[in-house]
Amino acid sequence: MSLDAAKATGLLTQARGVQRRTVALRRALHRHPEVGLELPRTRDAVVTALADLPLQVHLGRAISSVVAVLEGHRPGPTILLRGDMDALPLTEDTGLAFASQVSGAMHACGHDTHVAMLASAARVLATRRDELAGRVLFMFQPGEEGFHGARHMIDEGLLDRTGPAGRPEAAYALHISATVASGEVHVRPGALMAAADTIRVTVSGRGGHASAPHDALDPLPAAAAMVGALQTAVTRRVDTHHPVVLTITRIVAGTTTNIIPETAFMEGTVRTLSEASRAAVHEEIRRVCRYTAMAHGCAAEVEIEPGYPVTVNDEDAADRLGRLADAVVGRERVVTMPTPIMGAEDFSYVLAEVPGALAFLGGCPPGVHPGAAAPNHSNRVVFDEAAMTAGVAVYAGLALAALA
């Protein structure tokens, strides 16, 4: 997959030509963020943005998803491009003129930019239908932030041969990052992002008076011991070449100073980069919690809620995306990531069924060093809107190159 220099330059020119639209849509979404799977205002904004384009638009039945299909001039395969739409439950503190007007909700992960870039890429590609042998499937997805939105869309037939555009031959997504230099594209083959599962442990003992712990079975020392034992288990039971990050983030127990409680509850996450290490560490968590509790005379009930699977970029697709980005933004601005990151992404559900790749688009604000920028998921994060022209051109270029 590649574009010649003239075509890449033409795409950038077109992306700059629609930048005012891109920014306007992004800011409209940023002012009115919505969280989860039900995003009616966001869905309607996307439909309105696409209304004048020659697209077949399909709305989700159970969730606020939007699927748009652009048919090329000639028959051929389907290429899927994804943009996620949901926000995070944060109160914005950026001081932007277009800051969130919704209390407790903010587009702190840049999904508003993803939607705007994908909508503008559809606009660019609509002017180039005669260059497409096949069709482009635009996937506007709710519920990426922990709500399994991609899986819901797949369950509704997104990837089926009888789906809106047939089964895609390849799938691509971009994710903006405030801690990457603006306009750079970072990608790697293989595991790109981790699986993330939620751990919940209830430790049961026997309550009593704080003055007589010997007459009770205090679950708090057992819970505290579990935290250390779990951290040790990761370093001593898991191969260091298969990274695992286990973090207990919350412990809740007791009601006052002179009562030993009956139970203690703790929860956190475990992140892994392979299904083998994922299964192994799940077993280890259950074993450590059970026997640590027993050593304190208590019992432990362990729940591990599966989260997103490992995000795995197809090697050939990642290479094609990298070469396409070379043509669009310049080779010096395309970076092969040396290691995965331990965040999670539900585009992993799509990549588990369709060969494809996800890449990071730099959006560090002007005048700020990437290492000093407020990161994604911060209530102070700011993205450089100028980077969206590169994103629009890369999205459109992926479809053009694949369907030439």
Interval 231-246 mean pLDDT: 89
| Domain range annotation of the chain | 5-193+310-402, 195-305
Interval 290-310 mean pLDDT: 97
Whole-angstrom distance, CA of residue 321 vs CA of residue 394: 8
Whether 102 has a pLDDT exceeding 90, the answer reads yes
Output the six-digit token pair for 352. Answer: 């588990």
Neighbours of 99 (CB within 10 A): 14
Q: Could you tell me whether strands 195-204 and 299-305 are parallel, antiparallel, or unpaired per DSSP bridges?
A: antiparallel
Helix (H, G, I), strand (E, B) or coil at 23: helix
| CB-based contact 156:60 (threshold 8 Å) | yes
State the fold for domain 5-193+310-402: Aminopeptidase (3.40.630)
pLDDT at 356: 98
pLDDT at 9: 86
Read off the pLDDT of residues 343-390 as tens digits, 9 standing for 90 and up.
Answer: 999 999 999 999 999 999 999 999 999 999 999 999 999 999 999 999
Is residue 172 annotated as a catalytic residue, yes or no?
no
Whether 1 has a pLDDT exceeding 80, the answer reads no
User: CATH number for the 195-305 domain, one of 3.40.50.300, 3.40.50.1370, 3.30.230.10, 3.30.70.360?
Assistant: 3.30.70.360
Whether 2 has a pLDDT exceeding 80, the answer reads no
Read off the pLDDT of residues 55-84 as tens digits, 9 standing for 90 and up.
Answer: 999 999 999 999 999 999 999 999 999 999
pLDDT at 57: 97
Whether 5 has a pLDDT exceeding 80, the answer reads no
Output the six-digit token pair for 381. Answer: 């994060």
pLDDT at 3: 79
Taking CA atoms, 299 is separated from 79, 199, 200, 285, 292, in Å, by 52, 16, 14, 14, 9
Whether 310 has a pLDDT exceeding 70, the answer reads yes
Whole-angstrom distance, CA of residue 27 vs CA of residue 32: 9
pLDDT at 147: 96
CA torsion through residues 230, 232, 238, 240, sign: positive
Give me the helices (H) in 92-204, please. Answer: 111-126, 149-155
Read off the pLDDT of residues 252-268 as tens digits, 9 standing for 90 and up.
Answer: 999 999 999 999 999 99
Taking CA atoms, 366 is separated from 97, 145, 177, 328, in Å, by 17, 27, 13, 21
Q: Identify the active-site residue in 144, 145, 308, 345.
A: 308
Helix (H) or strand (E) holding 219: helix 219-237
Nearest to 83 by CA among 145, 140, 11, 167: 140
Whether 279 has a pLDDT exceeding 90, the answer reads yes
Interval 146-168 mean pLDDT: 93
Between 159 and 239, the more confident residue is: 159
Q: How confident is the model at residue 85 (pLDDT cuts 50, 70, 90)?
A: very high
How does DSSP classify residue 99? Answer: -
Report, in this order, helix, strand and coil percent for the chain, each rounded to 5.
35, 25, 40
Is residue 308 annotated as a catalytic residue, yes or no?
yes
Read off the pLDDT of residues 173-228 as tens digits, 9 standing for 90 and up.
Answer: 999 999 999 999 999 999 999 999 999 999 999 999 999 999 999 999 999 999 99
